[in-house]
Structure 1
Amino acid sequence: MTIQKIREQVLDLTEEERWELIDILMKSLRTKPPLAIKNRGIAASLVGIAKTDAPAPTDEEVKAILETRLLQK
């Protein structure tokens, strides 16, 4: 049976029958295993990659690191 034929037949149903059909379809979809996890973007997969147990540097430490880096250039 094609989707077009199903559409035509569904439109011939009463409102109550259509709601019953919706209920049947929803139940049939709930019993299916979940779809595979969608592929995340590269940036999302890198979140937390550089995580350490050390606390984050203070503003002063960041400024010192930047100054040192600029002097190296």
Structure 2
Amino acid sequence: MSFQELREQATRLSVSDRLALMSAIIDSLKNPNLGENTPPSMARERSGAIERMRGLLKTEQPAPTDEEVAVLLEERRLEKYS
């Protein structure tokens, strides 16, 4: 289908369907790896979940130093293999 044909078909859609199409296009640009078969609602859910996860990662504490990470890893190894 050519761009012109797609454009003509899009103008025949209802306003709500055109808005849904716009949303799906925007989601596909934000998440290009989701694939063609992913419904727009699932893409929005994934996008929302990702934003919530990013919020969970925010903290007021500074990032640990390399030495602190090394200590944490060693403690974890001792727990895991003890």
What TM-score does the superposition give when structure 2 sets the normalisation length?
0.38
Structure possessing the higher relative contact order (Cα contacts under 8 Å, 6 or more residues apart): 2
Q: Bigger radius of gyration, 1 or 2? A: 1
Structure with more of its chain in helix, by fraction: 2
Query: Taking structure 1 as the reference length, what is the TM-score of the superposition?
Result: 0.42
